[in-house]
C-alpha cells in the first residue's frame, strides 16, 4: 500500500538563473535544481564574458596592458591599474616616486569606497529595498567626479603608469576629497539607520550561508568575504606594499553580531566598516602627501630582465594578483591573473545547498562578485 505522500508524484525542478537575471550581478548563470522553493543544488556556470585578457597580455607590451586592467573589475579600475603597475615595477625593479605612491593609495581607497558603495547598494536592492541603492549611487557620483578631475574618465581610468601615475593631481583635488570625506562619513551612519539594522534585512541575512574561518581559508576566499568569516587577513597589513605601512587603520572582521560568524550579514557589515577605515586612510594620506615628481624615468621601450613575479594586492573584491613571466623581450611571456571573485565562486555550490531561492540572491550579493573579473 502506498501512503498519500508516496502517491503524490513530485519532482525536482531545474531552473536557469541567468545569464540574464537582475540579481546575478552580470552574466552569471546559475543552474538551480530546486525542490519547490528549496535549492537542492546550485551550480554556477561562468565564462559568458570571457575575453581572453591573459592571452591579450602576452601580445601587448607592459605599458599597453594598463587599459585592459580597467576591464578586469570595472567597479574598482583604479585598484586594478595600480596592481598592474606594482607588479610590473617589481618585475623590472622600478621604484615610483613617493608622491605617486600616495596618489595611488588615495585613488585606490577612494575606489574602494565607491566599489563598496555599489556592493552595498546592489545588495540592498537584491533584498528588495531599492532606495539605498540610489543613495549609494548619489555618493559614488562624487567619487566619480573626483576621478574625472584626475584623468578625465569616470569608469575606466587608465590612470596609473609603470613608474607612477599619468598626471599629477589637479589643483583643488585634495580639498575636494576632504570635502567629500566630511560629507560621506556621516552617510555611513545614515545607511546603518536606514537599512543595516532593519529587522527584515537582518532576518534575511543572519545565519544564511555561514562560512567558517577554516572553510574560508581552505577555499581560498580573500578580501571582505574572508574577513567576514572572522579571519583578520588583509594584504595591506599582512604583506604591506606601497605606503600602507605608514598609515594607521584597522582590519575589519565579521563578529557574528546578529547571527553566526561568517554569515551574509557579517560579510555585508565588513564592507560597511571598511568604508569607514578607507576614510581614515584617506585623511592620513591627504595630510602626509609630499611634493615631488609623480612619474619615475622609465625607458619608452623597456625590456625587463628574464624573471617571474607574483604580486598580490588588496582589491575591494579580494586579492588581485598578477603572475608575470618575462623572457627579456618587450612582451610578457606569460600572464596569469588571480581574481578574488573567481576564487570566491568555488565555495558557492557548497554554501547554497539547502537554502531558499531568495537566499541564492543574498549569497551572490554578499559575495559581491563582479563578472568581468570572474571571466577575464
Partner 1 sequence: MEALARSLVQAVPAIAGVPFWTVTLLVMVVTAAVLLVFALTFGGVGSYVLRKVAGDIQVRIGPNRVGPYGILQFLADGVKLILKEDIIPAKADRFLFVLAPYLVFIGSFAAFVVVPFGVGLIAADLNIGVYYVMAITSLVVVGILMAGWASNNKWALLGGMRAAAQIVSYEIPVGMAILPAVLIAGSLSLQDIVRSQGGLLGVFGWNLFHNPFTFFSFFLYFTAAQAETNQTPFDLPEAESELVSGYNVEYSGIRYAFFFLAEFGDMFIVAALATACFLGGWHVPFFRADALPALWGNLLSLGVFLVKAFGLVLVMMWVRWTLPRLRVDQLMRMAWKYLVPLTFANLLGVSLWLLVFKGKGIPQMIASIF
Binding site for partner 1 (CB under 8 A): 13, 15-16, 21-23, 36-37, 124-131, 134-135, 138, 194-195, 198, 200-201, 203-204, 356-359, 361
What the block records as the C-alpha cell of 64 is 599597453
- Contact between 326 and 306 under an 8 Å Cβ cutoff? The reply is yes
Q: Which is nearer to partner 1, 193 or 288 (CB)?
A: 193
Q: Which of 120, 172, 164 is nearest to 146 (CA)?
A: 172
* Least distance to partner 1, CB of residue 124, Å: 7
* Least distance to partner 1, CB of residue 20, Å: 9
* Least distance to partner 1, CB of residue 190, Å: 12
* Least distance to partner 1, CB of residue 142, Å: 13
Q: Which is nearer to partner 1, 156 or 260 (CB)?
A: 260
Q: Which is nearer to partner 1, 131 or 329 (CB)?
A: 131
Q: Which of 123, 169, 376 is nearest to 271 (CA)?
A: 123
- H or E stretch at 314: strand 307-315
Q: Which is nearer to partner 1, 18 or 372 (CB)?
A: 18
Q: Which is nearer to partner 1, 17 or 253 (CB)?
A: 17
Q: Which is nearer to partner 1, 37 or 214 (CB)?
A: 37
Q: How far, in whole angstroms, is CA 207 from its chain's centroid?
A: 23
Question: H helices within the chain, ranges in order?
Answer: 4-7, 53-59, 66-70, 77-92, 98-126, 131-151, 173-191, 199-205, 213-218, 223-227, 235-238, 264-288, 340-344, 348-351, 357-367, 371-375
**CA angle, corner 283, sides to 297 and 222, nearest 5?**
75
* Least distance to partner 1, CB of residue 185, Å: 18
Q: Which is nearer to partner 1, 130 or 310 (CB)?
A: 130
Q: Which is nearer to partner 1, 90 or 204 (CB)?
A: 204
CA dihedral sign of residues 21, 347, 274, 82: negative
Other C-beta atoms within 10 Å of 167: how many?
A: 14
* Least distance to partner 1, CB of residue 135, Å: 7
* Least distance to partner 1, CB of residue 8, Å: 15
Give the 3-state secondary structure percentages of the chain, helix then strand then coil, rounded to 5. Answer: 50, 15, 35
- Rounded Cα–Cα distance for residues 66 and 76 (Å): 14
* Least distance to partner 1, CB of residue 61, Å: 43
What are the residues facing 322 on neighbouring strands?
311, 337
- Contact between 155 and 372 under an 8 Å Cβ cutoff? The reply is no
- Rounded Cα–Cα distance for residues 290 and 168 (Å): 12
Amino acid at each position: 500500500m502506498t501512503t498519500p505522500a508516496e502517491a503524490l508524484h513530485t519532482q525536482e525542478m531545474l531552473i536557469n538563473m541567468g545569464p540574464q537575471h537582475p540579481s546575478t550581478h552580470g552574466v552569471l548563470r546559475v543552474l538551480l535544481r530546486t525542490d519547490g522553493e528549496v535549492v537542492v543544488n546550485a551550480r554556477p556556470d561562468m565564462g559568458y564574458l570571457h575575453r581572453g585578457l591573459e592571452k591579450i597580455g602576452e601580445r601587448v607590451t607592459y605599458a599597453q596592458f594598463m587599459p585592459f586592467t580597467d576591464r578586469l573589475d570595472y567597479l574598482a579600475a583604479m585598484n586594478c591599474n595600480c596592481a598592474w603597475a606594482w607588479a610590473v615595477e617589481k618585475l623590472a625593479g622600478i621604484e615610483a616616486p613617493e608622491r605617486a605612491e600616495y596618489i595611488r593609495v588615495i585613488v585606490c581607497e577612494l575606489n574602494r569606497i565607491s566599489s563598496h558603495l555599489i556592493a552595498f547598494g546592489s545588495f540592498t536592492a537584491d533584498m528588495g529595498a531599492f532606495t539605498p541603492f540610489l543613495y549609494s549611487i548619489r555618493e559614488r557620483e562624487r567619487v566619480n567626479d573626483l576621478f574625472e578631475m584626475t584623468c578625465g574618465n569616470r569608469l575606466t581610468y587608465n590612470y596609473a603608469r609603470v613608474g607612477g601615475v599619468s598626471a599629477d593631481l589637479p589643483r583643488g583635488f585634495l580639498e575636494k576629497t576632504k570635502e567629500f570625506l566630511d560629507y560621506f562619513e556621516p552617510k555611513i551612519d545614515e545607511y546603518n539607520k536606514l537599512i543595516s539594522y532593519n529587522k527584515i534585512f537582518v532576518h534575511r541575512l543572519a545565519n544564511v550561508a555561514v562560512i567558517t574561518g577554516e572553510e574560508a581559508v581552505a577555499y581560498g576566499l580573500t578580501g571582505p568575504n574572508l574577513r567576514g568569516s572572522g579571519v583578520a587577513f588583509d594584504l595591506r597589513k599582512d604583506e604591506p606594499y606601497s605606503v600602507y605601512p605608514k598609515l594607521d587603520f584597522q582590519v575589519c572582521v565579521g563578529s557574528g553580531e546578529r547571527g553566526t560568524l561568517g554569515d551574509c550579514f557579517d560579510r555585508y557589515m565588513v564592507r560597511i566598516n571598511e568604508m569607514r577605515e578607507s576614510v581614515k586612510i584617506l585623511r592620513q594620506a591627504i595630510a602626509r602627501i609630499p611634493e615631488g615628481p609623480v612619474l619615475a624615468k622609465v625607458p619608452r621601450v623597456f625590456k625587463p630582465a628574464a624573471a617571474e613575479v607574483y604580486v598580490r594586492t588588496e582589491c575591494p573584491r579580494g586579492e588581485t594578483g598578477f603572475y608575470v613571466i618575462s623572457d627579456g623581450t618587450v612582451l610578457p611571456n606569460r600572464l596569469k591573473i588571480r581574481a578574488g571573485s573567481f576564487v570566491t565562486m568555488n565555495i558557492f555550490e557548497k554554501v547554497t545547498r539547502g537554502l531558499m531561492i531568495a537566499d541564492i540572491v543574498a549569497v551572490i550579493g554578499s559575495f559581491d562578485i563582479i563578472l568581468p573579473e570572474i571571466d577575464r
